[in-house]
Structure 1
Amino acid sequence: MNVTVWNEFFEERKYPSVSSVYPDGLHTVLRQALAEQLGPGTGVRVALQEEPEHGLGQDVLDDTDVLLWWGHLKQDEVSDEVVERVRRRVLDGMGLLILHSAIESKVAKALLGTSCRITGWRHGDSELLWTILPGHEIVAGVPNPVVIPHGEMYGEPLDIPAPDELVFISSYEGGEVLRSGCAWHRGRGRVFFFAPGHEEAPIYFQPEIRRVLANAVRWAAPPAQPQPRLTRQGEWPAKWWVPA
């Protein structure tokens, strides 16, 4: 399995509050976490927004089984051509993990079909990550709840389509809740949004969070045998689906 970690790598170099936590970039910590969790049979590469084609040329994407996407302040600067390239690869079977503020990225909007707008946010909250779907592959070996001492509150309503599988919800010290672990199927591909991951807190160093990410990569990876691609004939009802 080949995994690509994509990061805009901006805040780590601009803000001391972020560089003090992730001096070598969020992508470096994510790459290390996945390499440790997934073992030597998995290749983990990094792609950065500043690179040509944002590090996501067609050859890279064709060689990627699962793409992790972390973006925040530079999301509008991502090339539409690259967004479309990623979207097509997901429809063809590549897995995608949308991390934290990347829920408002162009890639997320292109695949989910909504604004993906967060209602409100607040820094510094403690968070409880609750398992909603026991037995799902993503929650294997994950305690319930996972305690995140310091993070960022994201509020509902979050403008996303109803998840095919709601895996986690989060509750915050202010009383808010969030659908914080959401899974969708898009074409042949699988998409997972995981909200914890505020850049000013060492959340990606937590063993429980690393376990969730590794589990999500395994879940999102294409199956050994490709699934038939489906197309819809005509209009609603959605039962009119036939193999392409």
Structure 2
Amino acid sequence: MINVTVWNENRHEQKNPVVREIYPEGIHGAIASFLEEGGFRTHTATLDEVEHGLTEEVLNQTDVLVWWGHLAHDEVKDDIVEKVKQRVLDGMGLIVLHSGHFSKIFKTLMGTSCDLKWREADEKERLWVVEPSHPIVEGIGEFIELEREEMYGEHFDIPAPDELIFTSWFEGGEIFRSGCTYKRGNGKVFYFRPGHETYPTYHNKDIQRVIMNAIKWAKPAERKRPVYGNAQPLESIAVKN
């Protein structure tokens, strides 16, 4: 069974009654709920917990970390970001959702500003599958249509993805690279765009399916980790005259 930690800053839920109505258990609670129904072992963590809920014990037991943040990226402590980064390099999977594009951990792993255009106008989003053979889109049709979402538009200042899984079109005319995979060290990273807090996006069955597929894809490989540093020779080295 895959161990998943769902991290959410949990600030919108405290401040905005619209968000609280859509996600009464928090965005993290909603995601954890459908993951549990999907057969994952889940744990939740939030910003205001000790060590943001991401203690060494929690991180060491996490196969895949799901990250949602927006209002309080700067409040995430740098030493916790460094611990998460090291776990990714060691093999832990990371799924970054929506406004998590501006999180410290995603920007650190990408090495760019991760900036973009945005607009809140209740517009339609159509996420087109552009890599139909990829396991992340198993069970998904040609596209996912969301009646209302926040717009994100290009240019999205990220490194070229290892794989581009989704491209979004918005009612206002913009497009966006909305499903991107990366490998960092021994770990896998998936950025998935939809999920604005005032829309019920995480109740959508196709969005849930993509996140569950992504977790399966991002889980650590079952193998011994590479050994780094000074190494003894595997064969005898002949003495050179």
What TM-score, normalized to structure 2?
Answer: 0.92
Q: Does 1:194 align with 2:195?
A: no
Map of 1:229-244 to 2, 5 A cutoff? none
Q: Does 1:217 align with 2:215?
A: yes
Structure 1 residue 145: Cα displacement: 0.9
Q: Indicate the residue corresponding to 2:77 in structure 1.
A: 79
Q: Indicate the residue corresponding to 1:12 in structure 2.
A: 13
Map of 1:152-231 to 2, 5 A cutoff? 152-226=150-224, 228=226
Map of 1:16-165 to 2, 5 A cutoff? 16-37=17-38, 39=39, 42-165=40-163
Q: Residues of 2 paired with 1:119 and 1:205: CA distance?
A: 25
Instruction: For structure 2, list consecutive stretches of 5 or more residues without a partner in the other structure.
Output: 230-241
Code of the residue aligned with 1:35 in structure 2: it is E
Instruction: For structure 1, list consecutive stretches of 5 or more residues without a partner in the other structure.
Output: 232-244
Structure 1 residue 17: Cα displacement: 2.1
Q: Residues of 2 paired with 1:162 and 1:87: CA distance?
A: 20
Structure 1 residue 230: Cα displacement: 7.4
- Is contact 1:137-1:215 (8 Å) kept? yes
Task: Identify which range, 116-125 or 95-104, moves more after superposition.
Answer: 116-125
- Find the residue that maps to 1:46 and give its secondary structure: strand
- Is contact 1:90-1:188 (8 Å) kept? yes
Structure 1 residue 149: Cα displacement: 0.8
- Find the residue that maps to 1:81 and give its secondary structure: helix
- Find the residue that maps to 2:157 and give its secondary structure: coil
The 3 A distance-change label for structure 1 pair 2 and 214 is same
Q: Describe the superposition over 1:56-104 as per-residue Cα deviations: whole angstroms up to 9, x where unpaired.
A: 0111101000000000001111000000000000000000000000000
- Find the residue that maps to 1:210 and give its secondary structure: helix
| RMSD of equivalent CA atoms | 1.3
Percent sequence identity is 50
Code of the residue aligned with 1:210 in structure 2: it is Q
Q: Residues of 1 paired with 2:228 and 2:123: CA distance?
A: 43
Q: Residues of 1 paired with 2:122 and 2:224: CA distance?
A: 43
Q: Indicate the residue corresponding to 2:233 in structure 1.
A: none
The 3 A distance-change label for structure 1 pair 146 and 226 is farther
- Is contact 1:33-1:210 (8 Å) kept? yes
Code of the residue aligned with 1:112 in structure 2: it is M
Q: List structure 1 runs of 4+ shifted beyond 6 angstroms.
A: none
Report how many residues are paired.
228
